[in-house]
Amino acid sequence: MSYQEAPLINWSTYAEARATLGGDFVRILGYFREDGVKSVDAIETAMRERSAARLVLPAHTLKSEAHQFGAERLGLLAEKIEMVARHCVETHVEPDELLEDVVGLRDMFSGSLTLLEKEANPLVERRTFGRKPNMAGASLGAQRSFGRA
């Protein structure tokens, strides 16, 4: 699947990460923000310098972290950048074919992060991720709004 066909966020993966990380989730999502900004900056700098070798590590890092939180489209785009950059290193060519992808990377990172952080907000009612509502109509596993019984 190409990154253009992927959902922006895979909410099932997001829910698994949230459940696995528990109380550390918001803190680690903050690390994703910090690391992601650094990775995007490094990718843009490497592209301006036309350095395929310098594209590989930040793209790999961004890919891994994006997939961890369910930012599927971002992860697949970062993977494409990483793989094409590796091929360019091996074949000794400049990564010019990645220009359009790198140009769209920052907006995709920002859009993905906005959705992830919005969903992580403790005052936002949680998604049910396909779970059926219970008899009272409240979603199973959903957190209640602050101040409600």
Q: What is the pLDDT along the chain (149 residues), one digit of tens a residue?
A: 778 788 899 999 999 999 999 999 999 999 999 999 999 999 999 999 999 999 999 999 999 999 999 999 999 999 999 999 999 999 999 999 999 999 999 999 999 999 999 999 866 555 555 544 443 333 333 443 334 33
92 and 53 in contact (C-beta within 8 Å)?
no
Report the interhelical angle of 99-120 vs 72-91 (nearest 10°). Answer: 150
Superfamily of domain 3-120: HPT domain (1.20.120.160)
Give the three-state DSSP class for 9: coil
| pTM of the full structure | 0.80
